[in-house]
Amino acid sequence: MPTRLFSFIGGDTGSWQVAAMDVVAGEALPAAKRLAIAPGADAPSDPHAAWMLRGITSNERYVLREDRVQMAARQHGLGRPEAACAALIPIRKNAAWWALTQDQGQDVFEEQSSHAGPGLRHFPALARRLHHCRDLSQNLPFDFITWFDYTPAAAPAFDELVAALRATEEWKYVERDVDIRLLHEAASPLAAT
């Protein structure tokens, strides 16, 4: 059975080179040059790691049926050779979000913010995986770890998508948002050294 648990390790090793790290809201993360992603429970312990974030994939809570059907039909899998760019965006939402009822959360996510629908329509070539941290512990620094990969040509479209999401009602509940952009080793200048 494929693992649902993933560790994201920022430090000096890993096949992704950190190209930029911007703090959009809340506290920063310590600087890291590279990112390693370890699936499963046996994440390597790296004494030199600047940070390690863990999350687990889970069932969807808010997505509408029509969007789920669209996603299944149109979304790419992660790890395409041409997807040399990636974004790791860990997110923490505030207490007001977690106090919402299911229908209130769904209303903000889908009706007021159109989270999944427009992204899919304008950017079907985005591959993504959402990890929930609160399903592991409520004392972790983030609630979600979002991971995306895309081609270099799609980078401007990804920037637009993220900017549009950050302007939605949903993001009023976001209290920590760190935007880390990465280049795959094969595409990075470090690969030549």
- Interface residues with ligand HEM (CB under 6 A)? 60-63, 71, 89, 91, 93, 115-116, 119-120, 123, 126, 128, 130, 144, 146, 161-162, 165
Which of residues 32 and 89 has its CB atom nearest to ligand HEM in the complex? Answer: 89
The C-alpha atoms of residue 86 and residue 162 are separated, in whole angstroms, by 13
Q: 């007001």: which residue's tokens?
A: 96
> Shortest Cβ distance from residue 81 to ligand HEM (Å)?
20
> Shortest Cβ distance from residue 18 to ligand HEM (Å)?
17
> Shortest Cβ distance from residue 12 to ligand HEM (Å)?
26
Which of residues 34 and 181 has its CB atom nearest to ligand HEM in the complex? Answer: 181
Which of residues 44 and 98 has its CB atom nearest to ligand HEM in the complex? Answer: 98
**Residue 48 and residue 11 in contact, taking contact as beta carbons nearer than 8 Å:** yes
Helices (H), ranges, the chain: 65-74, 95-98, 102-106, 117-122, 155-166
**Residue 57 and residue 129 in contact, taking contact as beta carbons nearer than 8 Å:** yes
- At 64, give phi and psi (nearest 5°): -80, 155
> Shortest Cβ distance from residue 192 to ligand HEM (Å)?
30
> Shortest Cβ distance from residue 164 to ligand HEM (Å)?
9
45 CB burial (10 A radius; 0-12, 13-18, 19+): exposed
Which of residues 3 and 58 has its CB atom nearest to ligand HEM in the complex? Answer: 58
Maximal CA-CA distance, the chain: 53
Which of residues 52 and 165 has its CB atom nearest to ligand HEM in the complex? Answer: 165
